[in-house]
Amino acid sequence: MLRPVVLHELQQLMRDRVGVVVLLLLGLALAGGLTTGLTMQRKQQAIHAGVQAENARHFQEMRAQLEAVAAGRKPKGFFFANRPTAVRYTIARPVSPLTVLSLGDSELMPASAEVGLFSSSTTRFQNASIDNPQNQHIGRFDTAFVLIYILPLLLLALTYNLLSVERERGTLPLLLNQPAGLLRILLSKSLASFLLLVVPAAVVPPAVTLLASPGAAGHFANLALFVLLTLSYGVFWIGAALLVNLLGLRSATNALLLGSLWLTMVLLLPATLQAALDAFYPLPSRIELISQARVAEVENSQKRKEIADRFYQDHPELVPAGGKENRTLDFYATFLETEKAVHPVHAHFEQQLSAQQAWVRRLQFLSPAVIFREGLAAAAGTHSANLAGFRQQIDAFQTQVRDFVLPRVVQARELTLADYAVAPVFPSGSARAVSLPWSGLIGLLFPSAILIALASRRAASIESIFLKG
């Protein structure tokens, strides 16, 4: 690179005020994005703490009831600590300390999950937080939004006329007369814009996160991926601007072409991709799932006796001793029947969702914006894959809880403090680690390399550029 060109371009951008304005806009946008991210992260952390406290309070209350009974005192509140079904949990979804960098799918994830004998993967996440569907559709104005949508626009505002402005100003002949090589000059000019805009955009959010979010420091690889993805995304747009400039067109035409490219890559392609996936793999309505569950629940509750009889025929080992009625087990039989009715819709939903996600993974390479979005969410730990990890943990814990509760229900045993002492405990700490998508860097740098190679070929033909002037 040519140091004098980089310095000259930086001075030029600042003196012409374009650099100042663009830098100011980036600063404002990042401030807005980071504020949203921090606010949402703190909100999620508050919910997490609240859920954890509620779960702890429940078990504390259960133990206190048993202690009161053992001491011959009247327990506080409705006494049910001795029932096996009192062992139920509300598990808070771990909040990534890097949520401030990208809210990703975190707002689509339920903040907590109920785990007990009467909970299942089908119905567990029905009580997900209700949000404005518009937010879920377009995403919030968070740091990732600023980087995916606004950063390229600002970068193109600096680079759309890298070469054309030299021709329009009349300085091109003097530049071409220098023994520096046109491509090197343009790359150096691009580097100035890159240093002015992309480097701060890549570095400031992680720095703010490290300062404002305790726990972020332990995620060095995630932060490094965030920085590298942002830099690579910047390189892609610089490559595009270089190539368009070397077509030898006027500045206005360059702006139009690059604007169209932004529109296609950042808005149209991702939207078309999502629309195509929705058409090929339509997701069953969430309302349909909930309605079906409720209808099955009502119908099954009306024929509880019949369901219980069938259940005991299928599971003679669970028939209560002495033919005594076990209402909890009857309810469990009804619950399983309801589950069976809802399962096909739920399974279809999961299947369609997996198919959509698999296609997004395959087709993301069509648009750098999609690669970048997916990469940022994964780096921030807010990707849907992180939710999947949490769900797997919950499912495994559900089995543990059922294996603990069900035998006690069958035996109609009353729980004691000793049972609570050996009750399952959900592993604390963060969600299961999801492998970071380093391949996203290749997905961004490969098309960038092609763009720069094409630009290099164009730059070799000075005549075509000179004559267009």
Partner 1 sequence: MLEAIRLSKSYNGVPALTELNLKVDAGEIFCLLGANGAGKTTTINLFLGFLKPSDGSALVGGKDVQADPLAARRQVAYIPEQVMLYPSFSGLENLQYFSALGGHDYSPAQLRTFLFEAGLPEEAISRRVGGYSKGMRQKVGIAIALAKQARAILMDEPTSGLDPKASNEFSRLLEQVSKKGVCVLMATHDLFRAKEVGHRVGIMKHGRLVATLGTAEISHLDLERTYLDHMRD
Element of type H or E holding 19: helix 18-70
Q: How far is the CB of 452 from partner 1 (least distance, A)?
A: 20
Q: How far is the CB of 196 from partner 1 (least distance, A)?
A: 16
Q: State which residue, 12 or 400, has the beta carbon closest to partner 1.
A: 12
Residue with Cβ nearer partner 1 (110 or 181): 181
| 281, 355 Cβ separation under 8 angstroms | yes
Span interacting with partner 1, options 11-19, 193-201, 259-267, 436-444, rule CB under 8 A: 11-19
SS3 of 331, please? helix
Q: 137 or 169: whose CB is closer to partner 1?
A: 169
Long-range contacts made by residues 451-455, C-beta under 8 angstroms, separation at least 24?
A: 451/236, 451/239, 451/240, 451/242, 451/243, 452/239, 452/242, 452/243, 454/243, 455/183, 455/186, 455/239, 455/242, 455/243, 455/245, 455/246
Q: What is the CA 243 to chain-centroid distance, rounded?
A: 33
Site residues for partner 1, window 12-31 (CB under 8 A)?
A: 12, 15-16
Residue ranges in 125-184 that form contacts with partner 1 under rule CB under 8 A:
169-171, 173-181
Least CB distance to partner 1 at residue 111 (A): 54
178-217 positions binding partner 1, by CB under 8 A: 178-181, 185
Cβ 189 to partner 1 shortest distance, Å: 12
Choose between 183 and 423: whose C-beta lies nearer to partner 1. 183
Q: How far is the CB of 367 from partner 1 (least distance, A)?
A: 37
Does position 457 interact with partner 1 (CB under 8 A)? The reply is: no
Q: How far is the CB of 186 from partner 1 (least distance, A)?
A: 13
Task: Please tell me the total number of residues recorded for the chain in this structure.
Answer: 469
| Options 4-12, 69-77, 110-118, 348-356: segment touching partner 1 (CB under 8 A) | 4-12
CA-CA distance, 431 to 398, in Å (whole number)? Answer: 16
* Residue 8: CB minimum distance to partner 1, A: 5
Q: Is 276 or 460 the residue whose CB approaches partner 1 more closely?
A: 460
Residue type, 133: P
Give the residue from 445, 262, 267, 455 showing the smallest Cα distance to 365. 445
Give ∠ CA 374-375-380 in degrees, rounded to 5.
Answer: 100
- Closer by beta carbon to partner 1, 174 or else 422: 174
Assess contact for 18 and 27: CB atoms under 8 A. no
Span near partner 1 by CB under 8 A; candidates 8-16, 79-87, 210-218, 251-259: 8-16
Q: Of the candidates 235, 223, 47, which has an alpha carbon nearest to the alpha carbon of residue 129?
A: 47
N-terminal to C-terminal alpha carbon distance within the chain: 25
Residue numbers of the site for partner 1 (CB under 8 A)? Answer: 2, 4-5, 8, 11-12, 15-16, 169-171, 173-181, 185, 462-463, 466-467
